[in-house]
Amino acid sequence: MSDLITSAANHHVKYLRSLVRSRKDRHNERRFVVEGVRLVAEALNVGQPSVLLYVPEQLASTERGQQLLDQLAALPNAFATTPAILAGISDVETPQGIIGAVPMPQINSQLASLIVMLDGVQDPGNVGTLLRSAEAAGVGQVLCLQGTADVWSPKVVRSGMGVHFRLPIVDGLQWETALPLIEHCPQRFAAVQDSALAYDQADLRQPSVLIIGNEANGVSSTTLSYANTITIPMLGALESLNAAVAGSVLLFEAARQRRKSMKDEG
* Number of domain units in the chain: 2
Residues 153 and 255 in one domain: yes
At residue 81 the predicted structure's pLDDT band, cuts being 50, 70 and 90, is very high
Q: What is the CATH number of the domain that holds 181?
A: 3.40.1280.10
Q: What is the CATH number of the domain that holds 87?
A: 3.30.1330.30
pLDDT at 218 over 90: yes
Q: Is there a domain that residue 228 lies in?
A: yes
pLDDT at 2 over 60: no
Quote the CA–CA distance of 168 and 157 in Å, as a whole number. 14
Q: Which residues contact 56 (CB under 8 A, 6 or more apart)?
A: 69, 80
Residues 51 and 22 in one domain: yes
Q: What is the mean pLDDT of the chain?
A: 94
A 10 A CB-CB count for 175 gives: 16
DSSP 8-state code for residue 108: P
- Residue 112: predicted pLDDT: 93
Provide the domain limits for residue 80. Answer: 11-103
DSSP 8-state code for residue 217: T
- DSSP H helices in 107-201: 124-136, 154-160, 175-182
pLDDT at 1 over 70: no
pLDDT at 139 over 70: yes
Residues 80 and 155 in one domain: no
- Residue 262: predicted pLDDT: 84
DSSP 8-state code for residue 98: E
Question: With the C-alpha atoms ordered 12, 18, 23, 29, is the resulting torsion angle positive or negative?
Answer: negative
Q: Is there a domain that residue 3 lies in?
A: no
Q: What is the dihedral of CA 36, 40, 41, 47, to 10 degrees?
A: 180
Quote the CA–CA distance of 148 and 45 in Å, as a whole number. 29
Q: Which residues are 115's β-sheet partners?
A: 141, 209
Last residue of a domain, one of 103, 123, 148: 103
Residues 32 and 139 in one domain: no
pLDDT at 236 over 90: no
- Residue 86: predicted pLDDT: 98
pLDDT at 266 over 70: no
Calculate mean pLDDT across residues 155-176: 96
Calculate mean pLDDT across residues 137-143: 97
Q: Is there a domain that residue 108 lies in?
A: no
Percent of the chain with pLDDT over 70: 98
- Residue 109: predicted pLDDT: 66
pLDDT (tens digit, 9 = 90+) per residue, 125-137? 999 999 999 999 9
Lowest mean pLDDT among 21-35, 161-175, 224-238: 224-238
Quote the CA–CA distance of 9 and 244 in Å, as a whole number. 40
DSSP 8-state code for residue 264: H
Quote the CA–CA distance of 25 and 22 in Å, as a whole number. 5
Residues 131 and 241 in one domain: yes
Residues 127 and 256 in one domain: yes
**How many CA atoms are closer than 13 Å to the CA of 194, on its beta-carbon side?**
1
pLDDT (tens digit, 9 = 90+) per residue, 87-125? 999 999 999 999 999 999 987 767 899 999 999 999 999
- Residue 48: predicted pLDDT: 81
Q: Collapsing DSSP states into helix, strand and coil, what is residue 254?
A: helix
Residue of higher predicted confidence among 77 and 266: 77
Q: Is there a domain that residue 109 lies in?
A: no
Last residue of a domain, one of 74, 103, 132: 103
Last residue of a domain, one of 103, 138, 169: 103
Calculate mean pLDDT across residues 238-263: 92
Residues 120 and 237 in one domain: yes
Q: Is there a domain that residue 2 lies in?
A: no
Give the total residue count for the chain.
Answer: 266
Q: Which residues contact 144 (CB under 8 A, 6 or more apart)?
A: 117, 118, 151, 169, 170, 171, 172, 173
Q: Is there a domain that residue 148 lies in?
A: yes
Quote the CA–CA distance of 75 and 72 in Å, as a whole number. 5
